[in-house]
Amino acid sequence: MKPTVTVTHNFPEVALEKLRDRAEVLYNDTGKSLSFEALVDRAGKSQAMISYLTDKIDSSVLDAGGDHLKIIANYGAGFNNIDVAHARKKNIWVSNTPGVLHETTADLTWAMMLGIARRIVESDRFTREGKFHGWQADMFLGGDVYGKTLGVIGCGEIGSAVARRALGFDMQVLYHQRKRLPETEEHKLNARFVSLDELLKESDFITLHVPLTDETKYMIGTDQLAMMKPTAYLIHAARGKVVDDKALVEALKNKTIAGAALDVYENEPALTEGMTGLDNLILLPHIGSASVATRDTMALLVVDNVFDALDGKTPRTLIPNWPGRG
């Protein structure tokens, strides 16, 4: 008898085909998230669950899995939606998809940097509305990127990929995180380790790539924004609650900083009041890893993790700091 696997949301067909070869799949293809009650019901029927970041997998869902639920395999690099401590207590594996999406997310980060500095969204809207009547010397003046200073907060897989691209723009790179990189890695990236305050004060572009922890929650707020140059831009593609969105809206309204581009939000998917009226703010719908190739690769890795768990093996990409993870 085939094991039952729940897939809580839309999932690439290439991965579904692989999954259906070995399992009975309870697939939610409605385009809408499952209700909490539905998650509990599916957990009670499944040996594995493939979840989205938008699925709240709390103790009630995990308890509904009884002794048969083997793994929660998150379709993404994050896992803040899962009660990890309770999963460990229940001996339920939790996996994510690291090492797959960093280059694609770095590409988007650069698109956001260039887009906000050169006012691409504003210019596109202006042209579509029929307002372009010929070249003007002072039309949509923006900021330069080449030769500027890039500040990377969180220089892990994604942050390092972003910093590496800065070499082609002849940028000085500053970075900040808890632990300094090896000197050889700093040399490759032409990056200098600095305090958070120095990075905020000296950078022309600041990009965030940290996980959401007690230490990073609201690490960018009113005080930090006030340290930035009035000509600087903030790029956020990490976790929503790393930034105080209300403080950011005020900073943009008051021209404390020149602009910002967001792919994530404090209360996602809800936007903070005032955001949609700001021309110096780009708003994206959490598409950091949204290329066809990357999403397919992520999904296939998710299925591999599920198969590992069903085979009694340790899933290959357990979340960080899992006991016994190599």
Residues known to be catalytic: 239, 268, 286
Q: DSSP string spanning 50-118?
A: EE-TTS-B-HHHHHHTTTT--EEEESSS--TTB-HHHHHHTT-EEE--TTTSHHHHHHHHHHHHHHHHT
For the beta carbon of residue 313, count every other beta carbon within 10 angstroms. 11
Longest dimension (CA), the chain: 71
Scanning the structure block, which residue is given the tokens 């094991």?
3
Smallest CA-to-CA distance from 13 within 29, 1, 2, 24 is with: 29
Give the position of tokens 């007690």.
Answer: 214
199-232 residues labelled b (16+ CB within 10 A) or e (exposed)? bbebbbbbbbbbbbeeebeebbeeebbebbbeeb
Structure tokens belonging to residue 155? 């220089």
Cβ atoms 241, 234 nearer than 8 A: no
Is residue 57 within 8 Å of 83, Cβ to Cβ?
Answer: yes
* Spatial separation of the C-alpha atoms in residues 218 and 173, rounded to whole Å: 23
Write out the two tokens for 291.
């290329």
Cα–Cα dist 121/126, whole Å: 9
